Amino acid sequence: MRAVVIEKLGGPEVLNVIEHPDPEPQADQVVVQVAAAGVNFMDIYQRQGVGGYKPGDFPVVPGAEGAGTVTAIGAGVTGLSVGDRVAWAGVPGCYAEQAVIPASRTVPVPPEVDLQVAAAVMLQGLTAHYLCFSTYPVSEGDVAVVHAAAGGVGLLLTQMVKQRGGIVVATTSGGEGGEKAALAKQAGADHVVGYDGFRAAVADATGGRGCDVVYDGVGQATFDDSLAALHPRGIMVLYGAASGQVPPLDPQRLNYGGSLFLTRPTLVHYIADRHELLWRAGDLFGWLAEGMLNVRIGGTYPLADAGRAQEDLAARRTTGKLLLLP
């Protein structure tokens, strides 16, 4: 089989396609023919060795999300058969034609959901779900800032916040006009602004009170204004760092800002057991099957163009989800 490998840290040029032996499942594992693998910022962080994502021993096959068809089953696996359609997130080694997945990390994909769509929704959809259902459970009338609202997480998160009755102040790099703003509005955003103007938009939307929550996957470029946009005892949810890592923070800033809360969540802690994984994925696939959730695939690339896919993602030249199609 073919797979993308990293043999050293560096830029997109360190991503190379090589031939690998076909994998064999060990106990409690399955082998999946990968229909699509998601491209995510964590893949870039891993390639660069930053943000706690530095890989272990080289060579490493990047990618941690995908969907496909089970082709082999290891000892002890129950409830799965060859030919089953499954998806997963948080499992390494997915930039490849075949991937070995722990059976406990797979989720069934219903026949109404295309495998490319399933791959596109897993990591970002599960992230959006835990952000607005668990990290800060949005209630009717809550005002939420969603940064990078035209990105993969942003579009899904906006839709889910609206499902829960929230009011969304969305930011995009194009401001109030252009394709990104249009996409955010289609997802349900109540206000769409550029990064420089979102504090004023929050003030207008709340009568000067401040927002209840900021969902911030941008990081360094938006962090200070995000804290300032919150009302006293509001919650800052920093779940990514697309613009760079946030410097160390003096806790007194939370005091001065109005007894604010700050959390830095990550998906693995919100799908820590199979029950929680199946709950979140089941919601996603149910909404997709019923037409209640829209997933935008912003671009597809062959394995050989993994570097270009990561460059496009990092440069914010795309909207929605990027996929590799082995």
Please give the mean pLDDT across all residues of the chain: 94
DSSP letter assigned to residue 25: -
Indicate the angle between helix axes 152-163 and 115-130, nearest 10 degrees: 60
Question: Does residue 222 have a pLDDT over 80?
Answer: yes
Beta strand 98-102 with 29-39 is antiparallel
DSSP string, 265-291: --GGGGS-SHHHHHHHHHHHHHHHHTT
Residue that is written with structure tokens 């490998």 in the block: 5
Question: What structural domains and CATH numbers belong to the chain?
Answer: 2-122+268-324 (3.90.180.10), 139-264 (3.40.50.720)
Q: Do residues 3 and 22 lie in contact, with contact meaning Cβ atoms separated by under 8 Å?
A: no
Question: Does residue 60 have a pLDDT over 90?
Answer: yes
CB-based contacts of 217, cutoff 8 Å, min separation 6? 41, 147, 148, 151, 153, 154, 239, 240, 241, 242
CB-based contacts of 72, cutoff 8 Å, min separation 6? 24, 25, 30, 31, 82
User: What is the reported pTM?
Assistant: 0.90
Confidence of residue 121 (pLDDT cuts 50, 70, 90): very high
CB-based contacts of 261, cutoff 8 Å, min separation 6? 233, 234, 235, 236, 254
Q: How far apart are CA 124 and CA 322, in angstroms?
A: 11
Please write the tens of the pLDDT for every residue from 3-50.
999 999 999 999 999 998 899 999 999 999 999 999 998 899 899 988
Q: Do residues 312 and 299 lie in contact, with contact meaning Cβ atoms separated by under 8 Å?
A: yes
- CA pseudo-torsion sign 267, 44, 153, 132: positive
Q: What pLDDT, on the 0 to 100 scale, is given for residue 45?
A: 87
Least confident of 50-64, 140-154, 180-194: 50-64
> Residue 258 pairs with which residues in a beta bridge?
none
Q: How many residues does the chain have?
A: 326
Q: What pLDDT, on the 0 to 100 scale, is given for residue 51?
A: 66
